[in-house]
Amino acid sequence: MTSVEHPEPIVRTIFKALLSKLLHWYGENRQATNDLLVLSVLSTLTYLFIRSNDLMEQFYEYTRQHEELQLDELALTMGVISSLYISVFAVRRWAEAARRLKQANTDNLTELFNRHKGWEILEHELARAKRYQRPLSLIMLDIDFFKEINDRHGHLAGDYILKAVADIARETVRSFDNLIRWGGEEFIVLLPDTELEAALQVAERLREEISSAPIQVPGSALNITASFGIATKDENTTDSEILVARADQAMYIAKHRGRNRVAISR
């Protein structure tokens, strides 16, 4: 009897994807995060040492014998202030490091991952998909007639269009999918653990959402469309550049077929 391989439960799939992104994020924030971890460990060890040796009871007993000095209030106050200062310093350092990292990896206009970070994510997800024999799909979308929009309505209108498309994509894809502004009016949606058929559904849903309602820009409302190309990892996908090139080629096929449609790389 031929055994049937059951699909991996969706909860496990989501957990793996989230864990992968968490580990990836920790790798980029390692120094600042380690500072907080060290501070937490030292604080815990100090507290346990004080409790286990009854040092506070001995300290209170000593200060009660020298009540006029009020050493307990002074020491406790200084201890609290010092602890708060160290904690605030560590948190601010971590937040500043995270802010600088976000600026380096994020497109300022759309707040999606930028192209530089996109390549890194692609390499990471492709390596994970190969290691665990999981599917991986990539959607490339390009806003139709974007140059004409800029020429006719101005670059500010173009910026509104780009931000609107980014917002639509955020609301359409899953939380663990990756959205990348690839450059100009091109975007990439990277779909971990996603077969071709499911990726096609995502692309069609995005296409319909983008074309369904006018987008408000200064002075008017514009109807726009986008063209999509889909590529899925197969045995010939040796690196991320091949996957991107296949999706890009499929997207141009969609353009040549009349725009506002989805094409698949075969």
Q: What is the pLDDT along the chain (266 residues), one digit of tens a residue?
A: 444 444 456 667 677 767 766 666 666 566 666 666 666 676 666 666 656 666 556 555 655 555 554 555 556 556 666 666 666 666 676 677 667 767 789 999 999 999 999 999 999 999 999 999 999 999 999 999 999 999 999 999 999 999 999 999 999 999 999 999 999 999 999 999 999 999 999 999 999 999 998 999 998 999 999 999 999 999 988 999 999 999 999 999 999 999 999 999 97
Element (H, E) at 255: helix 240-256
In this structure, are residues 243 and 251 in contact, taking their beta carbons and an 8 Å threshold? no
As a whole number, the mean pLDDT across the chain is 83
Q: Give the whole-angstrom CA distance, residue 30 versus residue 263.
A: 40
pLDDT digits (tens, 9 = 90+) for 94-126: 677 667 767 789 999 999 999 999 999 999 999
Q: Where are the beta strands (DSSP E) in 3-49?
A: none
DSSP annotation of 236 = T
Tokens of 79: 């201890």
Q: What are phi and psi of 250, to 5 degrees?
A: -65, -35
Instruction: Give me the active site residues, please.
Output: 185
Sequence ranges of the domains in the chain:
11-105, 115-264
Q: Give the whole-angstrom CA distance, residue 70 versus residue 226.
A: 73
Q: Give the whole-angstrom CA distance, residue 183 versus residue 221.
A: 24
Q: Which pTM was predicted?
A: 0.69
222 forms beta bridges with 215
Domain spanning 115-264, CATH architecture = 2-Layer Sandwich (3.30)
